[in-house]
Amino acid sequence: MGAVRARSGALRSRLAVLLALLATLACTAIAHAEDGYDLWLRYPPLDARQAPVLRAHAAELVAPASTPTQRALRDELLRGLGGLLGGAPALADAPRRDGALVVGTPASSPVVAGLGLDLADLGEEGYLIRSVRIGGHRATVVAANDDIGALYGAFHFLRLAQTGAPLDALDLREAPRLALRVLNHWDNLDRYVERGYAGQSIWDWHRLPDWRDPRYTDYARANASIGINGTVLNNVNANAQVLTPMYLEKVAALADVMRPYGIRVYLSARFSAPIEIGGLATADPLDPAVQRWWKDKADEIYRTIPDFGGFLVKANSEGQPGPQDYGRSHADGANLLADALAPHGGVVMWRAFVYSEEEPDDRHKQAYNEFVPHDGAFRDNVMVQVKNGAIDFQPREPFHPLFGAMPRTPLMMEFQITKEYLGFSTHLAYLGALYEEVLDADTHVQGAGSTVARVLDGSLHGHALTGMAGVANIGSDRNWSGSHFDQANWYAYGRLAWDPGARARDIAADWVRMTFSTAPAFVAPVVDMMMASHQAVVDYMTPLGLHHLMGRGHHYGPAPWVEGGPRADWTSVYYHRATAEGIGFDRTATGSDAVAQYAPAVAEVFGDVTRVPEDFLLWFHHVPWDYRTQSGRPLWDELVHRYTRGVDAVRGMRATWDGLASYVDAARHAQVATFLGIQEKEAQWWRDASIAYFQTFSGRPLPEGYAAPAQTLEYYQALEFPHAPGDTR
């Protein structure tokens, strides 16, 4: 601190400013290193340019606190504004000066009621944010029909403040386009997380219900801030024990924590639970005793959790029990549970990720074949939950042919946020770009503009029950998601579940500003890097429509050579079909004809090697090595080019990030930099191993200027990773 000189009158105010500033600086220095725990809700002090703007719009806070949700809302605003401004605004019953922030519903707040706002079309979860005058004072009002809408609105206001958005002349109206915006935790009861790369499950079942980890509240806050309103607590590969009284008591404790934040809990239900914990001899959905058991179980659940959301079910898939074990259909199975839940308002989310015991000619076609015949046979409170693509969360897939193909059934999107097939948590891959590509995809089932997003939001086929599920990337790691940038995927998922038409780039920009810095010289290159990162992963792992080439079981690293084992569609060679002549899976009429599952306008494009987007070339076509690609290069050369381009892109990300150290705290910068180093090393490994392997088929030399693989194919094939995280078990 330099010398301070002051005299008489102005002393007090100068001192106050100085003290606040010093306190802030000191805290920044002494407080714990930024470790990512605070996610995008960090609320660091705004800079000298932004602080006065916010202060002028948050001079005082008028917000009721009579309900748990209202208290959560007010606490968040006090925390957020307090952090951003270096001190929380004063609380007031009504605006007494310019710059009040007024939050509430007509029922909770006389001030809001007095404004006579038009809230009719906002529903229960929507809100508006508007610059108004109240009693002659400038004010900002955040108004909604329900407490939860007001909470969402408060988070939106905080986002505007955090990102340095203008706060004058606001006139925003927001309501979610999807009703259910749900996280799926693939968390086992022993805290192991299947496909989890961020530590253990955050659900500490053993110490529940007594110990309610404060982390649960922070989880709820983070989710509410992006509009997520449901969470399925346990793995779809479910253990029936979660439905026993001992566990339901624990589930109820979690529901209590979530409730003020508008988040309902759901459970994955094991279809054979009536046998395993019910003592019945069968789980046949048409058996009256089974039906009785599920009804009783639902009644029991709702006695302790009145707002329980419902069941998620993985049935007759990868060894899970299901209705087909009794010769019944998926509809029979789903309706069994739906009938039990219906009196309480619960829903069934029935997964379409199925494949039969027998190997199909093309796994791509299985879900469509099994589900389309049952369109219209499901109860009103059943949704069919469909993965974004027909195979399994590959770095890039064409949209699932089920979207648009079941007009009488509400379809729910299942995205994977955890990066099972995208390098785990050390690879920087912004999935907003992936989600956007799928949501924007046009099914053409009702002509152009029949996007997947419009299937989901019900507008295409007139459904009110709508939703999106994201397989969570959340674990006990201090930074929640295993890496700082993987938080962006959780964030983007939530924002797109709220509005499937939102732009991934805008979302990334918001996230970067809230998570790291609002400095334009930082935001622009980082957003560019994020937006390009998805393509980079596709390029160095599975370019040109290749897919499912990861290590067997754990899915870590390249293994295009995987063959043999229990079923062909769990191998790599099944999918790439490389021969001396060419490579790719012929899914046209000359092959498996999976393209016929798409609407004709789509099928024509995908099925035509000259029209298919090159990103899906080898997904739908088996193509000779010398096939001339759009770049003019022969296919082999193009393949090598794309693998190499992917590695180069990661190298570019490293350079970008290394140049931005001055904008980020040392701890987070170092971790991201280290992880980018790992990503570059592994991208190179992917490229080299893949090229070494496919070259044994193409028999061609690498094009001029492209480096040979660093090691022999045998070296790559000998690598083993028996303890890679997240494998099924």
3-state secondary structure labels for all residues of 481-546: CCCCCCHHHHHHHHHHHHCCCCCHHHHHHHHHHHHCCCCHHHHHHHHHHHHHHHHHHHHHHCHHHC
Distance of CA 120 to the CA centre of its chain: 30
Which C-beta is closer to a second copy: that of 218 or that of 359?
218
392 flagged as catalytic: yes
Tell me the CA distances in angstroms from 185 to 153, 193, 652, one per residue in order.
26, 8, 33
State the nearest-atom distance from the C-beta of 33 to a second copy, in Å.
8
State the nearest-atom distance from the C-beta of 25 to a second copy, in Å.
8
CA dihedral sign of residues 612, 617, 618, 621: positive
Q: How many Cβ atoms sit within 10 Å of the Cβ of residue 432?
A: 26
State the nearest-atom distance from the C-beta of 527 to a second copy, in Å.
25
Residue 312 β-bridge partners = 268, 349
User: CB of 432 within 8 A of CB of 461?
Assistant: no
Q: What is the DSSP letter of 344?
A: G
Q: Is 95 helix (H, G, I), strand (E, B) or coil?
A: coil
Which C-beta is closer to a second copy: that of 286 or that of 724?
724
296 flagged as catalytic: no
Which C-beta is closer to a second copy: that of 34 or that of 437?
34
Please choose, from the candidates 232, 218, 304, 302, the residue with its C-alpha nearest in 3D space to the C-alpha of residue 261. 218
Which C-beta is closer to a second copy: that of 201 or that of 571?
201
Which C-beta is closer to a second copy: that of 339 or that of 477?
477
Which C-beta is closer to a second copy: that of 198 or that of 258?
198
Tell me the CA distances in angstroms from 562 to 188, 571, 718, one per residue in order.
28, 5, 12
Tell me the CA distances in angstroms from 394 to 297, 537, 586, one per residue in order.
37, 10, 18
Please report, as a single letter, which amino acid is at residue 575: Y
State the nearest-atom distance from the C-beta of 82 to a second copy, in Å.
8
Classify strands 623-624 and 582-583 as parallel, antiparallel or unpaired.
antiparallel
Instruction: Name the helix (H) or strand (E) containing 134.
Output: strand 127-134
In the set 296, 300, 318, 658, the catalytic residue is: 318
State the nearest-atom distance from the C-beta of 2 to a second copy, in Å.
10
d(CA 254, CA 268): 15
State the nearest-atom distance from the C-beta of 72 to a second copy, in Å.
17
State the nearest-atom distance from the C-beta of 635 to a second copy, in Å.
34
- Helix 288-304 with 330-341: angle, nearest 10 deg: 40
Residues constituting the chain? 729
State the nearest-atom distance from the C-beta of 234 to a second copy, in Å.
11
d(CA 623, CA 626): 8
Which C-beta is closer to a second copy: that of 8 or that of 66?
8
In the set 287, 392, 615, 648, the catalytic residue is: 392
Read off the tokens for 185.
């935790």
Please report, as a single letter, which amino acid is at residue 409: T
User: CB of 53 within 8 A of CB of 167?
Assistant: yes
State the nearest-atom distance from the C-beta of 395 to a second copy, in Å.
20
Q: Which positions ≥6 away from 597 have C-beta within 8 Å?
A: 365, 368, 401, 405, 603
Kindly report the backbone phi and psi dihedral angles of residue 236, in degrees, each rounded to the nearest multiple of 5, phi listed first.
-65, -30
HSE at residue 492, side-chain half, CA atoms within 13 A, is 30
Q: Catalog residues that contact a second copy under the rule CB under 8 A.
A: 1, 3-6, 11-12, 15-16, 18-19, 22-27, 30-33, 37, 83, 188-191, 199-200, 205-207, 210-211, 214, 241, 424, 426, 476-478, 667, 671, 674-675, 677-678, 681, 722-725
Q: Is 24 helix (H, G, I), strand (E, B) or coil?
A: helix
State the nearest-atom distance from the C-beta of 211 to a second copy, in Å.
5
Which C-beta is closer to a second copy: that of 271 or that of 424?
424
Q: Biggest alpha carbon distance in the chain?
A: 91
Which C-beta is closer to a second copy: that of 55 or that of 215?
215
In the set 174, 194, 420, 437, the catalytic residue is: 420
Which C-beta is closer to a second copy: that of 48 or that of 718?
718
Catalytic center residues: 318, 392, 420
